[in-house]
Structure 1
Amino acid sequence: MAGGGFGPGPGTGKEYPGNLTPYVIVTCVIAAMGGLIFGYDIGGVTSMDSFLEKFFPSVYKEAEGG
């Protein structure tokens, strides 16, 4: 039978010395939200001509038809 992702693994207890505190949960939620917000924001930059010309000249030349 397959095991779950959130329950304790095989063994008798915790295998790490840390605790899951409210501070840890809030920090993880804020980091995840920031990743979602700024991760989607980067998509427009990678299609800008100036970005492609500076960092990926071969892709820029191909996009221009050269």
Structure 2
Amino acid sequence: MAVSISAVVLLGIVVFVLIRDGSVRLLPALACAGFGFFLASTGAAPVIRNAIGAVTGWISSI
């Protein structure tokens, strides 16, 4: 749970900076957020969650 909250905060900051910088416009950012929201309710969510868990576990072991 702590990893997912940290990832949400980190990705939120990245999106905010990209929108503020002008690299990404607001509408495409909202489309990506909507895509992620609906992707979380599909069968791909556990695979993505496991992959992120494996990467964070690998990084923490360094």
TM normalised by structure 2 equals 0.35
Larger radius of gyration: 1
Higher helix residue share = 2
- Greater RCO structure (CA 8 Å; 6+ sep): 2
**TM-score when normalising by structure 1:** 0.33
